[in-house]
Structure 1
Amino acid sequence: MPIETAALPYDRTALEPHLSGDAVEQHYALLVADIERVNALVAGGPLADASLEDVVRQAQGRLFEHAAQAWNTDLYWRCLQPPAAGGNSEPAGRLAEALTAGFDDFAGFRRQFEAIALRGFGAGWVWLLQRTDGRLAIAATANAATPLTGPDRPLLACSLWQHAYYLDYQDQREKYLAAWWQLVNWRYVASRMAKPAA
């Protein structure tokens, strides 16, 4: 059964003025194209009925690239919310406590996250991850690479692909990041954390 492209969790213009409807539409169209390529590549093969996550974990080559990019992008959309829905907030509860434990405070986490995002060259992603021992960490991956294939749990994804921001900010990644922070859905990010061991 073909993998379906998840709908955006909000209207294409709902992230304005931070991300324009045109930028969202262009970025989302690439997600649709990646899912179409995944379905074409798995058709008639052993992964034909696999979930997108399973394809990412088992695939190689072009199939992996399209599947991983689709999974990364879908998580990216879910990690954002319209300003009217509570954007520009800060983490609370267990997530806030874990960020304080790992980075001194939210401001410290944000500084480290931005430094990694601005240091990277070319396309890729920056992630907030939860290690298997519960600690939080920041990592960057190039191109379509994804932490989904490793032991860490991805909590938050920030796209550093130019199609995520070029229409709005050209090559000014720092302005894109400043806008992106205004949209992060911290409740969703917190919901992805593994439950503490009993």
Structure 2
Amino acid sequence: MIHELPKLPYSIDALEPHLSKKTFEFHYGKHHQAYVTNLNNLIVGSKFENATLETIIREGDGGIFNNGAQVWNHTFYFFQFSSEPLLMPSGPLAKAIDASFGSLPEFKEQFNKACATLFGSGWVWLAKNPQGKLEIIQESNAGNPLRQGLVPLLTCDVWEHAYYLDQQNRKPDYIQAFWNVLDWKIIEGRF
């Protein structure tokens, strides 16, 4: 199976000023592409040569896991955004957020704190556990909640390459910009 960089559902400048075209040129066009290329090179001749990304995440290790998870994580990340996002969840997802965190503002406060305090590089996820309760998960490096049997709903990439061209060392500014392009309609579909 050959993995490919998926075409974005919007132009690389569509999320400005929150996430810049320059950041997308590097983050999507170079970083994401490098993970795709590396994964394709690593799986040749391995038991993962014809595996899905989900199988690679659940069963892989070493470079195959790291690159496979980064391909999946980045695709999941980029495909949750919109230039005209629904900025508030509704229906069952809104009720689940209230049940798990108290309210949307309390969820965002906890999620923002998880993003700001994740040491080093990684991802922060909103995921649904097998009981249907929502959890905020901090994962280092290429970590993904699929390995824990959770259903990922949204993620924030807190590797420096996600924000450094736009915000330099101001990670909290990036976290705030993230909410301006996150499309809750997409997250509701994942829920």
Report if TM-score (shorter chain) is over 0.5. yes
**2:14 matched residue in structure 1:** 14
Unaligned runs of 5+ in 2: none
Instruction: State the shift of 1:113 in Å.
Output: 0.5
Instruction: State the shift of 1:46 in Å.
Output: 2.1
Deviations 1:16-52 (A, max 9, x none): 0101001011111211110111111111222211112
Letter in 2 for 1:4: E
Task: State the TM-score, normalized to the length of structure 2.
Answer: 0.96
Instruction: State the shift of 1:157 in Å.
Output: 0.7
Q: Within 5 Å, which residues of 2 pair with 1:7-156?
A: 7-28=7-28, 29-82=30-83, 85-86=84-85, 89-156=87-154
Q: Secondary structure at the match of 1:97?
A: helix
Q: Secondary structure at the match of 1:157?
A: strand
**1:5 matched residue in structure 2:** 5
Partner Cα distance (1:106, 1:46) in 2: 43
Structure 1 residue ranges (4+ consecutive) displaced by more than 4 angstroms after TM superposition: none
Instruction: State the shift of 1:150 in Å.
Output: 1.5
Deviations 1:131-182 (A, max 9, x none): 1011111110011111121111000010001110000000101000110000
Partner Cα distance (1:54, 1:11) in 2: 30
Partner Cα distance (1:137, 1:63) in 2: 27
Instruction: State the shift of 1:56 in Å.
Output: 1.8
Partner Cα distance (2:54, 2:5) in 1: 13
| Counterpart contact for 2:128–2:152, Cα < 8 Å | yes
Letter in 1 for 2:14: A
CA-based RMSD of the aligned residues comes to 1.0
Higher mean displacement: 93-102 or 37-46? 37-46
Instruction: State the shift of 1:86 in Å.
Output: 2.6
Deviations 1:40-86 (A, max 9, x none): 1111222211112222222111111111111111100111111xx23
Partner Cα distance (1:116, 1:136) in 2: 14
Partner Cα distance (2:81, 2:119) in 1: 24
Task: State the TM-score, normalized to the length of structure 1.
Answer: 0.93
**1:167 matched residue in structure 2:** 165
Partner Cα distance (1:31, 1:104) in 2: 35
**1:196 matched residue in structure 2:** none
